[in-house]
């Protein structure tokens, strides 16, 4: 051992590093609980044992005991004796209840296949990342698992009512475009609430668009294109366009904003939902999951934003309010409003011509 090393610092770096490995391994254990219905079976039951949980989920008791003890060690399930376990209601809102905005357990299903990890390593050499279709089988569902709970909780009930005149227009029949629509969750939420409107989704991910096409196979007021935002025609007839958590993923969000500008009516509205970030990097340190954000950027958002040559390469935290304001001005928009929404991760902007 090198004599010059500060042993306290050494042990801290060592623990910090192994805690990330612990996170990786516990992620798999959370996924198993989600997949096997273990959290759901504990929800609302109060005190339970491995024997009871194994019976109600038709799993093997010894495996269930190890799973319960792992969750207890991770602080996700409570126990005082290692034999009786409780999933507290607040933990259930995160790990069991898929209708809650806090629901997170489904996110842990997406462990990257080796070819995706190889592709990302290659991107460090070539500069060219993987687009969303390059993220492997089922990755489109992982995106919905990540972004969906907040959309379900906030889009219709809180965000749309903040936008000047948009709710009224959609109620009577508006042309709505969802840019970067993914698997179509936001369109589904709006189409249910505003059936008189027509909805068009654009996304270059054919994986995501094929899930959306199945989802809306019998709905005539919904049309989907596996095309990027740059391909939206300048029809000047859309009442409402939204980009939810996707401008920073685009290789050329500046071109996308110009295309959106051309698609909107003169009194139309653009809603942008973007990851909360600051142009002053030090302010971002207040984010308790900042490292998760950057890791997601490397594996997904920056990768998509650099999946071409000649990109802006923004990535997860790359589109802060100042930059978005400058880009919307450049695209020809004149009005820019940031709304207050109870969402710990995202910022919401109302932008118009």
Ligand X SMILES: C[S@@+](CC[C@H](N)C(=O)[O-])C[C@H]1O[C@@H](n2cnc3c(N)ncnc32)[C@H](O)[C@@H]1O
Q: What one-character-per-residue DSSP string does 19-80 give? A: HHHHHHHHHHHHHHHHHTTHHHHHTTT-SB-HHHHHHHHT--HHHHHHHHHHHHHTTSSB-S
179 forms beta bridges with 202, 243
Shortest spacing between CB 316 and ligand X, in angstroms: 9
The gap from C-alpha 5 to its chain's centroid, in whole angstroms, comes to 41
Shortest spacing between CB 247 and ligand X, in angstroms: 8
Sheet of 175-179: strand order equals 222-225, 198-202, 175-179, 238-244, 264-275, 346-352, 335-339
Shortest spacing between CB 308 and ligand X, in angstroms: 9
Widest CA span in the chain: 75
Shortest spacing between CB 291 and ligand X, in angstroms: 18
Nearer to ligand X, 249 or 350 (CB): 249
Q: Which positions from 153 through 192 interact with ligand X, judged by CB under 6 A?
A: 179-182, 185-186
Shortest spacing between CB 135 and ligand X, in angstroms: 9
- Interface with ligand X (CB under 6 A), residue from 174, 241, 244, 270: 244
- Does the footprint of ligand X cover residue 87 (CB under 6 A)? no
Nearer to ligand X, 179 or 270 (CB): 179
Dihedral Cα 220, 224, 229, 230, nearest 10 deg: -100
Shortest spacing between CB 280 and ligand X, in angstroms: 24
Within the chain, residue ranges assigned H as helices are 7-35, 38-42, 50-57, 61-73, 89-95, 114-126, 139-154, 166-172, 185-193, 206-215, 253-263, 281-284, 290-296, 302-305, 321-331
Q: Which positions from 248 through 267 interact with ligand X, judged by CB under 6 A?
A: 249-250, 256
349 forms beta bridges with 272, 338
Shortest spacing between CB 249 and ligand X, in angstroms: 4
| Angle of helix 206-215 versus helix 139-154 axis, rounded to 10 | 60
CA separation, residue 299 to residues 69, 104, 107, 115, 208 (Å)? 31, 19, 14, 12, 18
How far apart CA 88 and CA 19 sit, in angstroms, is 24
Shortest spacing between CB 144 and ligand X, in angstroms: 6
- Interface with ligand X (CB under 6 A), residue from 245, 260, 306, 317: 245
Q: Which positions from 194 through 223 interact with ligand X, judged by CB under 6 A?
A: 202-205, 208
DSSP letter assigned to residue 197: S
- Does the footprint of ligand X cover residue 274 (CB under 6 A)? no
Q: Which positions from 66 through 85 interact with ligand X, judged by CB under 6 A?
A: none
- Interface with ligand X (CB under 6 A), residue from 304, 311, 346, 352: 304
How far apart CA 64 and CA 286 sit, in angstroms, is 37
- Binding segment toward ligand X, per CB under 6 A, in 94-102, 168-176, 243-251, 341-349: 243-251
Nearer to ligand X, 183 or 320 (CB): 183
- Binding segment toward ligand X, per CB under 6 A, in 11-19, 240-248, 325-333, 340-348: 240-248
Site string for ligand X, 111-140 (x = CB under 6 A): ---------------------x--------
Nearer to ligand X, 48 or 205 (CB): 205
How far apart CA 326 and CA 130 sit, in angstroms, is 27
Shortest spacing between CB 191 and ligand X, in angstroms: 15
How far apart CA 295 and CA 109 sit, in angstroms, is 16
Nearer to ligand X, 105 or 147 (CB): 147
Give me the residues that bind ligand X (CB under 6 A), please. 132, 143-144, 147, 151, 179-182, 185-186, 202-205, 208, 228-229, 244-246, 249-250, 256, 304
């Amino acid at each position: 051992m090198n004599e010059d090393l500060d042993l306290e610092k050494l042990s801290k770096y060592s623990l910090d590093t192994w805690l990330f490995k612990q996170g990786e391994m516990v992620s798999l254990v959370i996924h198993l609980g989600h997949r096997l219905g273990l959290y759901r079976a504990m929800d609302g039951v109060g005190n339970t044992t491995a024997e009871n949980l194994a019976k109600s989920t038709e799993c093997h008791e010894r495996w269930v005991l190890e799973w319960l003890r792992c969750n207890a060690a991770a602080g996700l399930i409570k126990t005082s004796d290692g034999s009786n376990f409780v999933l507290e209601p607040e933990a259930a809102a995160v790990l069991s209840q898929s209708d809650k905005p806090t629901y997170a357990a489904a996110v842990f299903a997406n462990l990257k296949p080796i070819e995706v990890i190889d592709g990302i390593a290659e991107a460090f050499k070539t500069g060219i990342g993987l687009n969303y279709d390059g993220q492997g089988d089922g990755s489109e569902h992982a995106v919905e698992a990540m972004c969906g709970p907040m959309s379900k909780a906030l889009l219709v009930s809180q965000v749309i009512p903040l936008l000047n005149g948009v709710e009224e227009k959609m109620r009577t029949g508006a042309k709505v475009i969802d840019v970067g629509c993914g698997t179509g969750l936001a369109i589904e939420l709006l189409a249910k609430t505003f059936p008189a409107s027509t909805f068009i989704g654009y996304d270059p991910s054919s994986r995501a668009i094929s899930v959306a096409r199945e989802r809306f196979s019998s709905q005539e007021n919904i049309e989907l294109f596996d095309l990027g935002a740059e391909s939206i025609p300048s029809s000047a007839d859309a009442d409402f366009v939204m980009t939810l958590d996707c401008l920073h993923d685009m290789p050329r969000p500046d071109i996308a904003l110009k295309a959106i500008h051309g698609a909107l009516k003169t009194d139309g509205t653009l809603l942008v939902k973007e990851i909360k970030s600051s142009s002053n990097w030090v302010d971002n340190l207040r984010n308790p999951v900042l490292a998760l954000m950057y890791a997601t950027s490397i594996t997904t958002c920056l990768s998509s934003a650099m999946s071409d040559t000649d990109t802006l390469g923004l990535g997860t935290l790359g589109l802060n309010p100042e930059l978005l304001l400058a880009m919307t001005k450049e695209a020809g928009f004149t009005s820019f409003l940031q709304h207050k929404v109870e969402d710990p991760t995202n910022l919401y902007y109302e932008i118009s011509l």
